[in-house]
């Protein structure tokens, strides 16, 4: 089993009603790797940072079991930077700054040791970069999961459509599903999107949970009702990382196991939002994760006997 | 076991993106009674209509097992009328007309045969009318469920607060829970509202499902993902009617049975929205209901073994 994760490693500056941060470590691949590394011994990172990226943060990733051989360091360039401010309801945010920097010319080079990839997680990046990773793998992975966002639907739809034909699972939010399909009903949206390539579709609904569609089957996982969402940044990537990490660790890509993977991803995401950035995610103990999984079971569990 | 249902019986005129109706039969107590009557042999209605209300619609209620002894007919007055238009997303609507008519002076008279009431459902009405029903019952029912809406929070908060201290279960939507508590987080809102009187709180989130809070316990029931919501009118009342009808028919008011009751209410509500008004609700077969309950089980069912 080998899990390869492609995506951004970045600096974020975040403002929420509860406070603000200076530049802290963020980026889709950072959250995905940290979440996946709860379940797999080694997750192999493909990303790029500038010379300004702190060595101790790369070391931190390594200590969490992330293989950084595929992490390119462009010494004379700067790391991707994003800054955003959340509104009071935490469901919407304004982007204040986006500096692509090294990400603007990102060429995802795969070290030879990554060619054993069985599980591939394509974090949000340009669909051309995502498809080039698939093309550079000599053997097609057992499972390819892809995240994307509305930005690519607007400026790179043909490339996105091509990449969609190459993956197994697409993970997007409800707004993006509606935009990609042109359908308001998520059931109709799912049917259209499943005809575009992916065999599985995850629609993330933030505080309202997530839906998994496959053929005529649908599974719903709630989000845990929380007292407070402190910082939603990275929750979707944490979810995706937990999802593919759990699948990779169990080696089972059945629909039933994907349900479990979604619950594991949701549990990790529920920790992620409790503190700024990756802070909470890094410190979650095994006991805490087990307790939270138990919370999910109790949240939705009921017994009804249907007359035969 | 005896179930008493108090609420409006009305005329509605509804416009949705799919079409519009003339005056059709609606009202909270109509939906509640039709839903509850799936589970209990006799549900005893307390309501008022004008002389313009069709006799065959009263007969229709009777045929569904609704006892109409407590339905007052004011021959020289007009039935409550509401007209509304739904927006394209079906999640919001504009009220076009509200004519209180007979409802403006509604005095809920309880026939002697209603004094065996064990389960009382107070549909949305003025909180003074709701509390007067409780006061007129010689014996406190085993379970009192109450619905209300933001309108009463704005114009009759003290009366609403008084009624809240007299009931067991409050059923409101997320927006109303936030308004009543002054808290955005539904977990915090629930804690505050549970300190106002009710021991159980149901927060309805429309297409995002419903939450049940009791002490430190929380249960989440999803709404079934639907291809199309044709007309959402009455879905919340149908949900409440299914909820209390199921509880009354089983005679079990434990938290675990309330979970089942919520799933049964959700299943009936998922039918209600498929056609205009009460049309679909009236024709649901036992087999269809069983199939839909099975859909709910499959939608949320997963198996995770937590290490001890």
pLDDT at residue A308 is higher than 70: no
pLDDT at residue B60 is higher than 70: yes
CB atoms B300 and A298 under 8 Å: no
Residues of B in contact with A187 (CB under 8 A): 225-227
Percent of chain A with pLDDT over 70: 99
pLDDT at residue A196 is higher than 70: yes
- The 10s digit of each residue's pLDDT in A29-75 is 999 999 999 999 989 999 999 999 999 999 999 999 999 999 999 99
Q: How many CB atoms lie within 10 A of CB A308?
A: 4
> What six digits make up the tokens of A296?
């999910």
Q: How many CB atoms lie within 10 A of CB B157?
A: 12
Predicted confidence at residue B265, as pLDDT, reads 98
Residues of B in contact with A174 (CB under 8 A): none
Question: Is A306 inside any structural domain?
Answer: no
- The 10s digit of each residue's pLDDT in A236-248 is 999 999 999 999 9
Cα–Cα distance for residue pair B61/B281, rounded to 1 Å: 12
Residues of A in contact with B186 (CB under 8 A): 225
Please state whether beta strands B169-173 and A24-26 pair in parallel, antiparallel, or not at all (unpaired). unpaired
CB atoms B225 and A187 under 8 Å: yes
Q: A181 to chain B nearest CA, in Å? A: 14
Q: Is B145 exposed, middle or buried (0-12, 13-18, 19+ CB in 10 A)?
A: buried
Whether A64 contacts chain B with CB within 8 A: no
- The 10s digit of each residue's pLDDT in A81-96 is 999 999 877 778 899 9
Question: Is A307 inside any structural domain?
Answer: no
Predicted confidence at residue B89, as pLDDT, reads 76
Predicted confidence at residue B12, as pLDDT, reads 96
What CATH number is associated with residue A8? 3.40.1190.20
Total domains in the fold of chain B: 1
**Residue A267 DSSP SS3:** helix
Question: Using N-to-C axis directions, what is the helix angle for B28-36 and B235-250, rounded to 10°?
Answer: 40
Q: A98 to chain B nearest CA, in Å? A: 30
Predicted confidence at residue B1, as pLDDT, reads 67
Question: Is B305 inside any structural domain?
Answer: no
Predicted confidence at residue B291, as pLDDT, reads 97
Closest by Cα among A224, A287, A300, A295 to A38: A287
Question: Is A305 inside any structural domain?
Answer: no
The answer to whether A249 and A290 have CB atoms below 8 angstroms apart is no
Whether B253 contacts chain A with CB within 8 A: no
Question: Is B241 inside any structural domain?
Answer: yes
pLDDT at residue A167 is higher than 80: yes
**Residue A1 DSSP SS3:** coil
Whether B299 contacts chain A with CB within 8 A: yes
What residue numbers bound the domain in which B55 lies? 3-300
- The 10s digit of each residue's pLDDT in A233-287 is 999 999 999 999 999 999 999 999 999 999 999 999 999 999 999 999 999 999 9
Mean per-residue pLDDT for B243-256? 98
| pTM, entire model | 0.94
Closest by Cα among A218, A212, A224 to A269: A224
Q: B282 to chain A nearest CA, in Å? A: 21
Question: Is B38 inside any structural domain?
Answer: yes
CB atoms B306 and A299 under 8 Å: no
> Could you report how far apart the first and last alpha carbons of chain B are, in Å?
42
Which value, to the nearest 10 degrees, does the dihedral of the CA atoms of residues B221, B226, B232, B235 take?
Answer: -30
Whether B112 contacts chain A with CB within 8 A: no
> What six digits make up the tokens of A266?
């949701």
The answer to whether A183 and A214 have CB atoms below 8 angstroms apart is no
pLDDT at residue A1 is higher than 80: no
Residues of A in contact with B88 (CB under 8 A): 184
Mean per-residue pLDDT for A3-21? 95
Please tell me the total number of residues recorded for chain B in this structure. 308
Cα–Cα distance for residue pair A203/A189, rounded to 1 Å: 10
Question: Is A235 inside any structural domain?
Answer: yes
Cα–Cα distance for residue pair B287/B283, rounded to 1 Å: 11
Cα–Cα distance for residue pair A251/A283, rounded to 1 Å: 26
- The 10s digit of each residue's pLDDT in A86-143 is 987 777 889 999 999 999 999 999 999 999 999 999 999 999 999 999 999 999 999 9
pLDDT band at B308; cut points 50, 70, 90 = low
CA B225 to chain centre: 21
Question: Is B308 inside any structural domain?
Answer: no
Test the A interface: residue of B184, B287, B288, B304 with most A CBs within 10 Å: B304
CB atoms A227 and B185 under 8 Å: yes
Find residue A219's DSSP bridge partners.
Answer: A212
* Structure ipTM: 0.91
CA A197 to chain centre: 19
């Amino acid at each position: 089993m080998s899990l390869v994760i492609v995506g951004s490693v970045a600096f974020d500056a975040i403002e929420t009603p509860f406070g603000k941060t200076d530049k802290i470590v963020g980026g889709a691949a950072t959250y995905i790797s940290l979440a996946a590394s709860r379940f797999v011994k080694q997750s192999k990172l493909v990303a790029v940072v500038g010379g300004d990226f702190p060595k101790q943060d790369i070391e931190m990733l390594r200590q969490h079991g992330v293989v950084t051989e595929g992490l390119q360091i462009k010494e004379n360039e700067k790391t991707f930077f994003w800054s955003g401010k959340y509104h009071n309801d935490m469901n919407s945010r304004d982007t204040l700054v986006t500096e692509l920097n090294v990400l603007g010319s990102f060429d995802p080079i795969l070290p030879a040791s990554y060619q054993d990839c069985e599980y591939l997680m394509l974090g949000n990046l340009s669909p051309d970069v995502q498809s080039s990773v698939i093309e550079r793998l000599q053997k097609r992975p057992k499972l390819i999961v892809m995240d994307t966002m509305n930005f690519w639907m607007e400026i790179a739809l043909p490339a996105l459509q091509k990449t969609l034909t190459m993956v197994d699972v697409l993970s997007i939010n409800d707004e993006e599903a509606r935009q990609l399909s042109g359908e308001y009903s998520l059931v109709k949206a799912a049917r259209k999107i499943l005809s575009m390539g992916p065999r599985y579709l995850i629609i993330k609904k933030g505080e309202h949970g997530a839906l998994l569609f496959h053929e005529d089957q649908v599974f719903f996982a709630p989000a845990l009702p929380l007292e407070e969402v402190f910082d939603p940044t990275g929750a979707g990537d944490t979810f995706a990382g937990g999802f593919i990490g759990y699948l990779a660790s169990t080696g089972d890509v059945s629909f039933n196991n994907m349900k479990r993977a979604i619950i594991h991803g949701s549990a990790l995401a529920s920790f992620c939002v409790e503190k700024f950035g990756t802070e909470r995610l890094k410190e979650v103990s095994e006991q805490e994760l087990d307790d939270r999984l138990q919370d999910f079971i109790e949240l939705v569990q009921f017994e009804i006997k249907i007359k035969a």
